[in-house]
């Protein structure tokens, strides 16, 4: 018979430890188990992997194999488990693989697939949690994003993610079956927690949006009509006469969309012009002389 490289079959080095050998075998046995694997040559591969492990796990057999190399006859020292060649009911003609698998992994291979008792082997996959940062515009309008699969997922590569309009920080997007794969069971899910990146103009409070709006002292004092940006486009806003810094003006329904849309709040901020010219200084001096105004009057009364 042809020489088989048992180390290569198990994907390990020739100096592999007993623990790592067993670990490699368990991975391949799960992969090629005929009751689980969808690969066409699963049964043959499963037998081959079992044969290699039976030899290498035994120190005496392994030494014999290492010594004689290509003269080692395939299967010479391989002792199949009891009932290896039998045709077991419910195993689809694969012999007594399920009993052998049960002895190796401590669980029956019969429940959950119509055979009664496979629940211990067909373990569901694990959920994976990750974070994704999006722009405020994406949160407002919704977006289609392409992301790299996060660490912990069984698969690699990229994923297409649909970000719903109106999503807020802390909310999670669930991608069914995109988490960590199980042992023949359903893969876990991937949960992407949303974080909204800081914006250069807007702030977020729940599903409300806040905008600091700079206005001049005369616009605040006399009132004015100004153009204000919103995420849905520009609008004209009337500033009431006598407005003060910190006053809030509510734009209903202009926040993040949803079943109950948020609002946009415009926070007025009075900004003084620079006094870097004689004319500007003259105007401020004139106001100081002609206007009888003390903004600290109520505070000074308590002193």
Q: What is the CATH number of the domain that holds 169?
A: 2.60.260.20
pLDDT given at position 283: 92
- H helix intervals, the chain: 6-10, 18-32, 42-56, 59-68, 97-105, 136-141, 217-222, 278-290, 297-300
d(CA 56, CA 244): 83
d(CA 152, CA 131): 13
Residue 104 included in any domain: no
Residues 190, 236 share a domain: no
Residues 227, 182 share a domain: no
In the chain, the number of structural domains is 3
**Parent domain of 75:** 6-79
pLDDT given at position 165: 96
Residue 201 included in any domain: no
Residue 298 included in any domain: no
pLDDT given at position 114: 42
* The last residue of a domain, from among 142, 170, 196: 196
Distances from the Cα of 223 to the Cαs of 88, 226, 243, in angstroms? Answer: 89, 10, 7
Distances from the Cα of 102 to the Cαs of 30, 200, 261, in angstroms? Answer: 11, 60, 56
Residue 207 included in any domain: no
pLDDT given at position 69: 55
- H helix intervals, 198-260: 217-222
**Helices 18-32 and 42-56, interaxial angle, to 10°?**
160
Place of tokens 């309008």: 141
* The last residue of a domain, from among 149, 169, 196: 196
Residues 281, 225 share a domain: yes
Helices (H) and strands (E) in the chain, counts: 9, 11
d(CA 111, CA 252): 57
- H helix intervals, 177-256: 217-222
Decide if 32 contacts 50 (C-beta within 8 A): no
303 residues of the chain, pLDDT tens digit each: 466 788 898 899 988 898 999 989 888 888 888 777 777 788 888 888 888 888 889 888 888 878 765 455 444 444 444 444 444 444 444 444 445 454 444 444 444 444 444 444 456 688 999 999 999 999 999 999 999 998 888 788 899 999 999 999 999 999 998 988 876 667 889 999 999 999 999 999 999 999 999 999 999 999 999 999 999 999 999 999 999 999 999 999 999 999 999 999 999 999 999 989 999 999 999 999 998 888 888 888 787
d(CA 101, CA 118): 11
Torsion angles phi and psi, residue 30, rounded to 5: -65, -45
Cross-strand bridge partners of residue 194: 132
The DSSP output letter for 70 is G
Residue 73 included in any domain: yes
Cross-strand bridge partners of residue 161: 145
The encoded tokens of residue 281 equal 């200084």
Residues 223, 171 share a domain: no
Cβ neighbours of 287 (radius 10 Å): 11
């Amino acid at each position: 018979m042809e020489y088989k490289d048992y180390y290569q079959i198990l994907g390990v080095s020739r100096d592999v430890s007993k623990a790592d050998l067993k670990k490699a075998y368990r991975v391949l046995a799960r992969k090629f188990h005929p009751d689980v694997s969808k690969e066409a040559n699963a049964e043959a591969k499963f037998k081959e992997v079992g044969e290699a492990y039976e030899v290498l796990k035994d120190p005496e057999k392994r030494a014999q194999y290492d010594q004689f190399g290509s003269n080692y006859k395939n299967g010479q020292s391989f002792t199949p488990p009891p009932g290896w060649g039998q045709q077991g009911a419910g195993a689809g003609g694969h012999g007594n693989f399920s009993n052998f698998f049960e002895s190796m992994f401590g669980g029956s291979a019969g429940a959950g697939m119509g055979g009664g008792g496979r629940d211990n082997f067909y373990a569901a996959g694990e959920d994976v949690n990750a974070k994704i940062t999006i722009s405020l515009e994406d949160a407002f309008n919704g977006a289609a994003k392409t992301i790299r699969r996060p660490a912990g997922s069984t698969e690699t590569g990229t994923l297409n993610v649909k970000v719903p309009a109106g999503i807020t920080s802390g909310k999670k997007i669930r991608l069914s079956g995109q988490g960590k794969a199980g042992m023949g069971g359903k893969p876990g899910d991937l949960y992407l927690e949303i974080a909204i990146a800081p914006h250069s103009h807007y702030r977020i409070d729940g599903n409300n949006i806040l905008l600091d709006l700079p206005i001049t002292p005369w616009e605040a004092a006399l009132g004015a009509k100004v153009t204000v940006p919103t995420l849905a486009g520009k609008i004209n806003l009337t500033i009431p006469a006598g407005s003060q810094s910190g006053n809030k003006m509510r734009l209903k329904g202009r926040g993040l969309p949803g079943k109950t849309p948020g609002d946009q709040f415009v926070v007025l901020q009075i900004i003084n012009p620079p006094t870097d010219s004689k004319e500007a200084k003259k105007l401020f001096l004139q106001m100081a002389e002609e206007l009888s105004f003390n903004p600290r009057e109520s505070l000074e009364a308590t002193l």
